[in-house]
Chain A
């Protein structure tokens, strides 16, 4: 079945440094979604990328979808302590008809030293 791999598993940075997490799928994706889970919290949807080579920005966050639609990245510029959490990428898998489910990567836990 489809596998979504994410690296690194952990990343510790000093506040102000940049951070990047990478996501690779074993199959071509129709789209890729990114979620953030704060410590003790639940995942929160960040963004969806659909087009090959798509780049989207949310303030200091930059999301990219690869040309082959099999990989993606999330880059945070000048990290802040509020960026702490686990970032998950997720790719859809058909579960029959128009329904689909998400396969989540293992996530990257970002910690920021103030």
Chain B
């Protein structure tokens, strides 16, 4: 159990376009989901915490208007990178925590390349 899926697994888009990434908890309900960004050979940088039915909480330095997060249900959170630029190219990983649980279950990640 505790499987998290992410879609798409990779995407290439042109500068100025928007990209939506979906994160789903497949076999459990997740009140809270997290969005991370990871650069090659580096640690996970938390971008925002997504709570079902409420606004996401963004980390300092993360532009909320650029990285739109929606947590519409207990099994789905989406991250939309708006007006993407080459510097937004990165590996984006979501994670979900069971209601009442402590560990995070990570999705397989989405490799975004902006040309």
Q: How many residues in B have their beta carbons less than 8 Å from beta carbons of A?
A: 20
Chain B interface, >50% SS class: strand
Number of residue pairs across A and B with beta carbons under 8 Å? 46
Contact with B along A77-114 (1 / 0, CB 8 A): 00000000000100010011001011111110100000
Chain B residues with Cβ below 8 Å from A107 are 43
Q: Are B51 and A42 in contact (CB under 8 A)?
A: no
**Complex-state Cα separation, A31 to B101, whole angstroms:** 13
| B106, CB-defined interface residue at 8 Å | yes
Smallest CB separation, A60 vs chain B (Å): 21
Q: Are B43 and A105 in contact (CB under 8 A)?
A: yes
**Complex-state Cα separation, A93 to B110, whole angstroms:** 26
B-to-A contact residues, CB < 8 Å: 32, 34, 41-44, 46, 49, 51, 57, 93, 95, 102-109
